[in-house]
Amino acid sequence: EPEVTQTPSHQVTQMGQEVILRCVPISNHLYFYWYRQILGQKVEFLVSFYNNEISEKSEIFDDQFSVERPDGSNFTLKIRSTKLEDSAMYFCASSELSYTDTQYFGPGTRLTVL
């Protein structure tokens, strides 16, 4: 069964450094998302992406965040200058034909900012 994959599974970085989290959505899906979950808290929406554009972003998704679909398979989340409070599990998700379809989530990347 097709799956969303994410790399790396765990990333440790120093405060102020840039990180890029990578995702490969399910191949025939057109809608892509990033969510995050701070330890012990709810899963929170960050951004959605369709047709090479951001469709919606939350108040969390400020200027330090950016997303990109650099080729036909990858979808990336860049955090330009990491802060301690960016430490969280970051989940990529995709859905097939619309925002109302089932969203399928990847296994996550655990980001630790020291």
Cβ proximity to another protein: between 11 and 58 the closer is: 58
Q: How far is the CB of 106 from another protein (least distance, A)?
A: 6
Query: What residues contact 108, with CB distance under 8 A and at least 6 apart?
Result: 6, 9, 37, 89, 90, 91
Cβ proximity to another protein: between 15 and 43 the closer is: 43
The residue ranges that bind another protein (CB under 8 A) are 4, 31, 33, 35, 42-45, 48, 50, 55-56, 58, 91, 99-100, 102-108, 110
From residue 76, give the alpha-carbon distance in Å to each of 39, 100, 110, 111.
Answer: 22, 22, 15, 14
